[in-house]
Chain A
Amino acid sequence: MPRLRELGGLGVLTVLWNAGVVLGVLSELRANDVILGLVLIPCGLIGAALLSSLVRHLRLFALREPVLELDAHPLRQGSVHALSITLRGPLAGGSVTVELRGIESTISNTRNAPSFVRTFFAARLLEGEGVELARDERWTRRLEVAVPQNVPSSFAVPGSSLRYEVVVTTATLGLPEPEENAYPVLVLPLASGAGG
């Protein structure tokens, strides 16, 4: 979700930039300067791009963050858990996808050594379900997530981590990119009292 500050900054920049362009156009109409006219064309295009980005951010800002509920946390290896996703309108031409992802990442303290991130596990829980919601209308879907026994448990030290997240992706009509909301979850083993 775009933050209010980001939205405000973009709004101010768009207004100032386009005001400059309008002033330039008015001046060009009076003076009929060829060079000024050539400069105004790319400036106008940038202004149009800023305006389009502002409209997109305003639409994203109107989207409400999905609510994720789990029957138990942390999740356990080899267990099936229930989860529910709730969306609130408005949502036009929406498509919802839910996924459990495992992400392996490393950070190197050595100068110039690269860091790595990769998805080592992905389970699709809901695939592109169409949702149309009016303002303040709610949509809730209950799902089951089976955590395999052979996935590693969540892990984090300064140099590396294995983390899991439930990712809710909402694609909305008119927005070029789907909106992703990630909810971190812990995956732990079922503790065993038996001997090894």
Chain B
Amino acid sequence: MAELTDVDISLAATRVSPGGWLRGSVVARGRGAVQGLELSVRWLTAGAGSPDERVVHLQALGDEAADGRPVPFEVRLPVTPTSYEGEYLQIRWLVRVRDRSDRVRDAPFEVLPGR
């Protein structure tokens, strides 16, 4: 997948509690540079096993984002899974913005208890 360099994702915090709120905004650089933006929050596994991926939230960002205005988002995260960096298994969370041409921009964050 090609990288979507015309979009910035900013997160209010890069560490979120399980079951907490993930807040942030998406802004496109340059008016009309991107079309049909879609935001997803997902986790994926990496490591020795077969990779797995689940989308926990999906929304279309509409024309507002394409106009260069910041579009805020707020997503209530599930309680599990929590982020994990093991020897053979890693569980990673990220916010992904995709455009109509299937270019993507990722913003990783952690889901960990204690905050």
A116 proximity list for chain B (CB < 8 A)? 48-49, 87-88
CA distance A114 to B50 in the complex (A): 11
Minimum C-beta distance from B91 to chain A (A): 7
CA distance A175 to B67 in the complex (A): 76
Interface range for A: 35 or more
Residue ID in chain A nearest B22 by CB atoms:
A196
Query: Could you tell me which residues of chain B, from 98 to 115, have a CB within 8 Å of some CB in chain A?
Result: 112-115
Question: A152 and B52: CB pair below 8 A?
Answer: no
Which residue in B15, B19, B88 is a CB contact (below 8 Å) of A106? B88
Instruction: Determine if B45 is an interface residue (Cβ-Cβ < 8 Å).
Output: yes
CA distance A113 to B88 in the complex (A): 13
Question: A189 and B48: CB pair below 8 A?
Answer: no
How many pairs of A and B residues are in contact by the CB < 8 Å rule?
114
Residue ID in chain A nearest B49 by CB atoms:
A106
Minimum C-beta distance from A116 to chain B (A): 4
CA distance A194 to B76 in the complex (A): 10
Instruction: Determine if B89 is an interface residue (Cβ-Cβ < 8 Å).
Output: yes
Interface size on B, residues (CB 8 A): 35
Minimum C-beta distance from A76 to chain B (A): 9
Q: Contact string, B34-48, partner A, CB cutoff 8 A, digits 1/0?
A: 000000000001011
Additional pairs, 11, CB under 8 Å, beyond known A109-B50, A160-B48, A194-B20: A105-B88, A116-B48, A152-B82, A157-B54, A159-B45, A159-B51, A162-B86, A189-B79, A192-B18, A195-B23, A196-B12
The 10 closest A-B pairs by CB, nearest first: A106-B49, A196-B16, A159-B50, A159-B49, A189-B18, A160-B49, A192-B17, A191-B19, A196-B20, A157-B52
